[in-house]
């Protein structure tokens, strides 16, 4: 066990919903939150909320608090105090120091403009900084091995981070902690055992598993829920102000989200409490669709 990582041990499954405060929650966010909530709570586990506010330039003022309020109005209440990711910056830096010490990470002088057109890092600074260059970012070393995991919704997945991105950034040139490092360290700190989230993040899974391995720890299990897309086939986005959830009708929102998750409730179930109780009793992750779903102007 790494001394700086005090892992919360629990005999229960632990999951989380971790939105970035780049805008108000939209319907796709609600589907992801509800799926992660049901997957954990249906088995007596702990469900946590973490606001991932480590990228101030992208943060929308007040969005994090509004996201928490929206979740609570839909009956999705964290079992622990809500965590703000920025409060763990010190722990993130300790993890990076450890990875540098263990030669799992290295300083890099390259700018984005110096990367090849495919964006895959060519290893320029792996053996040391080029003459006359100064360190900008920090990257995790990536070997040529494939990363395999069994996704609870998408099935068996094989990824090749070396081909897809190469050595990837864990501390940015502006000094901010990169998402791939922060999310892993915070999940370890919280004792997260299962990550259920949107399909848009499945490409990050291989890189995050590599961070776990570099830290000498076991990754959680994963399940990637279908995305909700707009009429043009683009996923709904908080930063694009897509279809923010109407808090005035949470029962309708939950009913529709359950249908999109493959669990349409009976019409006799009406209130938020009744809908969630019904869903917790009937939840089966193998009934969740594994492909994208169009924005539901009508029931999914």
CA 228, CA 151: separation in Å to the nearest integer?
19
Query: Residues 77-82: what's their mean pLDDT?
Result: 98
Give the C-alpha distances (Å, rounded to integers) separating 110 from 106, 180, 257: 12, 19, 43
Q: Please answer whether residues 139 and 108 qualify as being in contact, where contact means their C-beta atoms are separated by less than 8 angstroms.
A: yes
Q: What is the dihedral of CA 21, 23, 27, 28, to 10 degrees?
A: -60
Cβ-based neighbour number of residue 63 at 10 Å: 20
Any idea where the domains of the chain sit in the sequence? 14-294
Which CATH superfamily includes the segment(s) 14-294? HUPs (3.40.50.620)
Predicted confidence (pLDDT) per residue in 44-75, tens digit? 999 999 999 999 999 999 999 999 999 999 99
Tell me whether residue 280 is exposed, middle or buried, using C-beta atoms within 10 angstroms of its C-beta: 0 to 12, 13 to 18, 19 or more: middle
Predicted confidence (pLDDT) per residue in 241-255, tens digit? 445 576 668 999 999
Predicted confidence (pLDDT) per residue in 208-241, tens digit? 999 999 999 999 999 999 988 755 555 555 444 4
- Map residue 280 onto helix, strand or coil: helix
């Amino acid at each position: 066990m790494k001394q700086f990582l005090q892992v919360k041990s629990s005999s229960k499954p632990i999951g989380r919903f971790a939105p970035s405060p780049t805008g108000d929650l939209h319907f796709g966010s609600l589907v992801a939150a509800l799926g992660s909530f049901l997957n954990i709570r249906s088995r007596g586990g702990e469900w946590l909320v973490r606001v991932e506010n480590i990228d101030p330039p992208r943060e929308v003022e007040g969005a994090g608090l509004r996201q928490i309020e929206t979740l609570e109005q839909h009956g999705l209440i964290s079992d622990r105090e809500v965590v703000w990711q920025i409060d763990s910056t010190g722990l993130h830096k300790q993890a990076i120091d450890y990875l540098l010490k263990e030669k799992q990470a290295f300083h890099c002088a390259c700018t984005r403009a110096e990367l090849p057109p495919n964006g895959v890092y060519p290893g320029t600074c792996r053996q040391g900084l080029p003459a006359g260059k100064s360190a900008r970012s920090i990257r995790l070393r990536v070997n040529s091995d494939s990363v395999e995991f069994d996704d609870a919704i998408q099935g068996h997945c094989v990824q090749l981070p070396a081909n897809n991105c190469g050595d990837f950034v864990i501390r940015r040139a502006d000094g901010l902690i990169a998402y791939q490092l922060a999310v892993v360290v915070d999940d370890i700190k919280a004792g997260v055992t299962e990550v259920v989230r949107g399909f848009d993040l499945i490409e990050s899974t291989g890189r995050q598993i590599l961070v776990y391995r570099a830290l000498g720890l076991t990754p959680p299990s994963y399940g990637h829920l279908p995305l909700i897309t707009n009429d043009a086939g683009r996923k709904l986005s908080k930063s694009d102000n897509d279809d923010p959830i109407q808090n005035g009708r949470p029962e309708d929102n939950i009913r529709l989200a359950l249908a999109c998750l493959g669990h349409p409730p009976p019409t006799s179930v009406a209130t938020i409490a009744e809908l969630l109780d019904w869903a917790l009793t009937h939840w089966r992750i193998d009934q969740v669709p594994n492909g994208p779903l169009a924005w539901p102007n009508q029931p999914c």
